[in-house]
Amino acid sequence: MRVLHFLWLFLIPFCQILSGNEIFLVSSQCLDDQKALLLQLKGSLHYDSTLSNKLARWNQNTSECCKWNGVTCDGSGHVIALELDNETISSGIENSSALFSLQYLEKLNLAYNRFNVGIPVGIDNLTNLKYLNLSNAGFAGQIPMMLSRLTRLVTLDLSTLFPDVIHPLKLENPNLRHFIENSTELRELYLDGVDLSAQRSEWCQSLSSYLPNLTILSVRTSQISGPIDESLSKLQFLSIIHLDQNNLSTSVPEYFANFSNMTTLTLSSCNLQGAFPKRIFQVPVLEILDLSNNKLLGGNILNFPRNGSLRTISLSYTNFSGSLPESISNLRNLSALDLSNCNFSEPIPSTMANLTNLVHLDFSLNNFTGSVPYLRWSKKLTYLDLSHNGLTGLLSPAHFKGLSELVYINLGNNLLNGILPSYIFELPSLQKLFLYSNQFIGPVNKFLNASSSMLDTIDLSNNLLNGSIPKSIFEVERLKVLSLSSNFFSGTVPLDLIGSLSNLTRLELSYNNLTIETGRSNSTSFTFPQMSVLKLASCRLQHFPDLKNQPRIIQLDLSDNKIKGAIPNWIWGIGEGALTHLNLSFNQLEYLEQPYSVSSNLIVFDLHSNRIKGDLPIPPSTAIFVDYSSNNFSNSIPLDIGDSIVFASFFSAANNSLTGRIPESICKANYLQVLDLSNNALSGTIPPCLLEYSTTLGVLNLGNNHLNSVIPDSFPIGCALKTLDLSRNFLKRELPKSLVNCELLEVLNVGNNNLIDRFPCMLRSSGNLRVLVMRSNHFYGKLTCDVTRNSWQNLQIIDIASNDFTGVLNAECFSNWRGMMVEDDYVETGRNHIQFQFLAQSNFYYQDTVTITIKGLELELVKILRVFTSIDFSSNRFQGVLPDTVGDLSSLYVLNLSHNALAGPIPRSIGKLQVLESLDLSSNHLSGEIPSELANLTFIASLNLSFNNLSGKIPLSNQLQTFSEDSFEGNRGLCGFPLNGSCKSNASELTPPPSFEDDTYDWQLIFMGVGYGVGAAISIGPLLFYKRGREYCDKHLERLLKLMFPTWGFTYTRYGPGKVVAVEHYEDETPDDSEDDDEGKKEASFGHYCVFCSKLDFHGKEAIHDPKCTCHMSSSPISFPHAPSSSSPLLVIYNKSFDS
């Protein structure tokens, strides 16, 4: 026994040394003076006695004060520890002489109170303090120098979670160096939220010079800056390092791996850069590593040490890449692993199955491939997120068997396929299940124990699921969110069946083959007391469901249905007037029932693509997205419309019959990013303020109106325009010089106006300009800009046809157009077509369009792919030779230089344009032979070399010989197939191309034109009345378009005489809801595009489906956004006439 007592006497001081704190012994006797001081302290403090667990229980009638809550005494009865944390103290500490008279205090804890004053200077009287905690107590202002007198401090905590922005707690004078220079015993320092910005990057030197024994360093959100100095390596006892949320802007030092005692390293949100040192992963005692939210921090993980201690790893939102090593299984203590939003790739290692302590696993937003790992031994797992990767294969019950603790599963946005195992719905603890945007097929089978299921969220949207919706889903009583949109579910779903889910807050059934039945229900049998979001787009609704009594609905989407007639006035009262999102687009609505008052809380108001007549409805002032496009609205835009769209980001009234002037009140919409008033009959001037306030406006489309003024010269510095379309108006005079301020401009279209100016050389340095359309104006002069290497570097479409340009074509100009030199397989990550994104969090974007002309046929590309390139210089007065540098434009699709006065030979370099599909050099003075290199143009679908001075034999190639003699006529010395004449015979004299050097009437040309007109009438007449002739024409025109359209990504259909519809199949296309076209609709929606799916018919009012349609799988899977990408009809379809 004596030996045991002796050992305890030895262990007590030893434990004191290890803990860094002395053992506090409670006496049985409380000294009267100590009790008096405590009672005096209580009396001076202001606190909420109803929430106090300590002060409120101090009773003067109790003699033993050492047993009061929060009080600790030594053996002599002196108070040596006072813990008054979380006591709701609001004041009284400033001049508390009682507190500062407790001379024996070694520990003082005032954390989590509400002082809202500076740290009282009297604390410096407590010179025996070893532990001082003033964290989150509301202290503000400069930390007093007097605290530096507390030379015995071992632990100092002045941290705050929510720093006062106006009066933060700060160390400025004294600075950190002077404050700690006497605190050499300090081992734990917590200064989170304390403003240390005055230290700049000197904080490392200060700490290493005066705190050699420091073990814990926590300076989160303290405004310290980098780099992390080498001097910090002297602190060899560091075990916990928290530097989060400081703008260090530096790399992580390699010497951190030398901290052999380091158990915790957190560096999140520090703007770290470079490669993370791999050796840090090898620190044997490291338990917590958090590097999250450092997008510039990269690196990879080679391996983990055997028996590693890591329990938590967070690398989310960094640039880590490579594969996850098999040695991940060495981390047997790992409970949380977050690698979300990185660049990891390759399969997830199967050794993950050995992580038996895993609780939280998040690999979302990476590039992992292979199958979903089996985690059957991770029986503690509660959270699993593998979404937004490239995972493939099937899901089986074995993936989830035994994972009875799983609460959250997200496997969305992958490439998983096969039939869903019903077992996944039967996991006993599962609450949220996200399987959206995969390729799951087949029916969803019935699952057991639905009524007792814990599931509150089921998201199966954007898959290939079919069959009827299983009744089991409607038996899950706790279900709050049900999203089944964009599948192939079929059958009839009565709304009263859904109404049995009384807890449902969100229901999304859009874009299936479902019929939502509302006819047999009454307004009380399918009420949804908790419903806030209801999306029934493309559900074959014939009329509005009766939702008058729905008290909580704030989002309603009934778009793409067959609802006719009036918009009922009760709709504005849904959700008791709290409706924020209303989408009724793509219906057959005709008017708004009177009287009506638009819901005052609407944020998204979408009525586009209906038949609504009358005046434009006045949107509420809360509106952010307003789309009235493609209706029959008429009359003028309300003069005070700007007062109602003050906060709007998107406003479109395009494709209506609006007249009058553009009201200047629109300029009040200071947050407007997209304004589209195109395709109306608006007249008058462009309000100068529209351009003056374009520092936020990204898209301005006023095309195809009757505007007849000059373009105001009022584009400001900092102009934010990316798309400016003023085409098809009557605008006059010159382009404004201030347009040079629009440095972000990507699309400029001023075609078909009356502008008179020189070529806009002022835009030559615009690194963003991709589309420039100036056709059909009166532009003149030479293209003689001062060419630099970066001139027009991203230009991909230029159309200056039908102007009065002269001079020679600049060889250096072509060589600078690097936007036309991209590789064949070029795809820009994330955005491979020109668009303007707005309201990014809702995934909205405005889709730019452009019209191209091929053989007199106008086609509007509803999506401008960044790989599509085109040059149209036709119908000008260009002279000289065609430069060889045109052959450098390796990705050029369309080249039209027709109707100029170009001379000399056709450059052989054109044969290098391997993707060229349309070449028109007709009506020039080109001479010499057709280069044999043109035979290399294997994709050429349209060729016109007619009316030049070409000679010699037409080169033989499979492609060139597919063109008719029309492509080569008018060349006096040309011979060979397909021309009738033999190369040995003299070519007949043909009419030379028109000359641009003489402005007098050319009667020979006029008579020739009359002759062509008569010939055309004779040719076309039989086609109109002779069925066999029509079939022959259709066959050959179909063949031409089949060759050209697939690689541009759109199909075409002709409706009636002189109309062509160009339709791009893309991911956010709104599917048709007709039963006959359901199969084709789904095929297009899920990443297919059809080369030619509709028969060309001059007279048919509807397109005839071609059963021989050839379809190709898209190169990448399609994921449907939860919100529409855009609601503008310009994204989907467009009609254009063409020259006969």
HEC per residue, 1034-1060: HHHHHHHHHHHCHHHCEEEEECCCCCE
What's the rounded Cα separation, in Å, for the pair 495 and 471? Answer: 13
* pLDDT tens digits for range 771-799: 999 999 999 999 877 766 667 788 889 99
Phi and psi torsions of 643, nearest 5°: -70, -20
pLDDT-derived band at 158, boundaries 50, 70, 90: very high
Sheet of 415-418, strand order: 392-394, 415-418, 439-442, 464-467, 488-494, 513-517
Predicted pLDDT of residue 831: 55
Amino acid letter, residue 354 = N
Q: Answer for the pair 649, 627: CB distance below 8 angstroms, yes or no.
A: no
Residue 222 has what pLDDT?
94
In three-state secondary structure terms, 469 is coil
Q: Which of 195, 196, 240, 201 is nearest to 217 (CA)?
A: 240
Q: Tell me if residue 732 falls in helix, strand or coil.
A: strand
Largest CA distance in the chain: 133
pLDDT of residue 447 exceeding 80, the answer is: yes
Is 819 in a helix, a strand, or coil? helix
Integer Cα distance of 944 and 918 in angstroms: 8
Backbone angles phi, psi at 1003, to 5 degrees: -65, -30
Reading phi first (left if > 0) and then psi (alpha if -120 to 50, else beta), residue 116 is in: left
Across the range 873-879, mean pLDDT stands at: 94
Beta pairing partners, 384: 361, 409
Q: Which helix (H) or strand (E) holds 36?
A: helix 32-44
CA dist., res. 608 & res. 626, Å (int): 9
Higher-pLDDT residue of 5, 349: 349
3-state helix/strand/coil string of 918-985: EEECCCCEEEEECCHHHHHCCCCCEEECCCCEEEEECCCCCCHHHCCHHHCCCCCEEECCCCCCCCCC
Summarize pLDDT for 177-225 with one digit per residue, the tens: 889 999 999 999 999 999 999 888 889 999 999 999 999 999 999 999 9
pLDDT score at 976: 85
The H-or-E segment that residue 590 falls in is strand 588-592
Round to whole Å and give the CA distance between 133 and 155. Answer: 8
d(CA 617, CA 633): 9
Structure tokens at 1037: 């025109």
> What residues have CB less than 8 Å from 68, skipping those under 6 apart?
38, 54, 57, 58, 62
Q: How many Å apart are CA 36 and CA 58, to the nearest integer?
A: 11
Per the structure block, which two tokens stand in for 768? 């963003």
By CB neighbour count within 10 A (0-12 exposed, 13-18 middle, 19+ buried), where does 719 fall?
buried
Tokens standing for 987?
A: 């070519």
Per-residue CA distances from 751 to 655, 725, 729, 739, 770 (Å): 19, 9, 9, 16, 15
How large is the average pLDDT for residues 46-74?
90
Higher pLDDT, 994 or 57: 57
**pLDDT of 1 higher than 90:** no
Q: For the chain, what is the total number of helices (H) and then of strands (E)?
A: 11, 75
| Mean pLDDT calculated for residue range 380-386 | 97
Residue 178 DSSP one-character state: H
Give the chain's radius of gyration (CA, Å).
38
The whole-angstrom separation of Cα 669 and Cα 690 is 10
Residue 766's pLDDT is 79
Task: Over range 457-470, report the average pLDDT.
Answer: 96
* Contact (CB, 8 A) for 147 and 124: yes
Sign (positive or negative) of CA dihedral 1096, 1099, 1101, 1105: negative
| 971 vs 1051: which has the higher pLDDT | 971
Can you tell me the distance from the alpha carbon of 945 to that of 921, in angstroms, rounded to the nearest whole number? 5
Domains of the chain and any CATH numbers = 251-413 (3.80.10.10), 1033-1136 (no CATH)
Query: 359-363 contacts: CB < 8 A, separation 24 or more?
Result: 359/335, 359/383, 360/335, 360/336, 361/337, 361/385, 361/386, 362/316, 362/337, 362/338, 363/339, 363/389
Instruction: Please give the pLDDT value at position 519.
Output: 59
Under 8 Å between Cβ of 244 and 161: no
Name 347's bridge partners.
369
Q: Whole-angstrom Cα distance, residue 507 to residue 516?
A: 12
Q: Taking the chain, what is the end-to-end CA distance rounded to the nearest angstrom?
A: 116
Which has the closest alpha carbon to 920: 898, 948, 901, 890? 898
Residue 1099 has pLDDT above 60, yes or no: no
What pTM does this model have?
0.75
| Mean pLDDT computed over 116-133 | 93
Asked whether residue 23 carries a pLDDT value surpassing 50, the answer given is no
What ranges in 111-184 are assigned the alpha helix state H? 176-180
Q: Answer whether residue 748 shows pLDDT above 90.
A: yes
Answer yes or no: are the C-beta atoms of 73 and 80 closer than 8 Å: yes
Type of residue numbered 83? E
Residue type (1 letter), 377: W
- Which region among 478-492, 554-568, 765-779, 954-968 has the lowest average model confidence (pLDDT)? 954-968
**Cα separation of 992 and 1008, whole Å?**
12
Average pLDDT score over the chain:
82
How many Å apart are CA 199 and CA 208, to the nearest integer?
Answer: 14
pLDDT for residue 788? 61
Cβ(53)–Cβ(80) below 8 Å: no
Q: Is the dihedral of CA 906, 907, 908, 914 positive or negative?
A: negative
H or E element at residue 881: strand 877-881
**Per DSSP, which regions of 122-252 are E strands?**
131-133, 141-142, 155-157, 169-170, 188-190, 216-218, 240-242
* Mean pLDDT confidence for 48-73: 90
Region 870-880 average pLDDT: 94
Separation CA 399–CA 421 (nearest Å): 10
What phi and psi values does residue 601 have, to the nearest 5 degrees?
Answer: -110, 5
Report angle CA 265, 267, 272 to the nearest 5 degrees: 135
- Give pLDDT tens digits for 213-268: 999 999 999 999 999 999 999 999 999 999 999 999 999 999 999 999 999 999 99
Question: pLDDT at position 416, please?
Answer: 97
Quote the pLDDT of residue 1117. 32
Using 50, 70 and 90 to split pLDDT, how confident is the model at 465? very high
If you average pLDDT over each of 674-683, 867-876, 1108-1117, which comes out highest? Answer: 674-683
CA 542, CA 341: separation in Å to the nearest integer? 43
Average pLDDT over residues 291-302: 96
User: Residue 138 is encoded by which pair of tokens?
Assistant: 């509301």
Nearest to 630 by CA among 87, 61, 1127: 1127
Structure tokens at 1135: 């009609």
Strands 581-583 and 780-782: unpaired
Strand-pairing partners, residue 73, are 79
Model confidence at 1040, in pLDDT bands (50, 70, 90)? Answer: very low
Instruction: Find the length of the chain.
Output: 1140
The 3-state DSSP class for residue 887 equals helix
Residue 314 CA, chain-centre distance (Å), reads 23
Report the share of the chain in percent with pLDDT over 90.
Answer: 60
Q: State yes or no: pLDDT of 999 exceeds 60.
A: no
Phi, psi of 814 (to 5 degrees): -60, -40
pLDDT tens, position by position, 1054-1069: 333 332 333 333 333 3
Min mean pLDDT across 352-356, 708-712, 1030-1034 is at 1030-1034
pLDDT at 284 (0 to 100)? 94
Tens of pLDDT, residue by residue over 650-703, are 999 999 999 999 999 999 998 999 999 999 999 999 999 888 877 889 999 999
Residue 850 bridge partners (DSSP): 861
How far apart are alpha carbons 834 and 675 in whole angstroms? 17
**Whether residue 28 has pLDDT greater than 60:** no
Closest CA to 774 of 799, 796, 793: 799
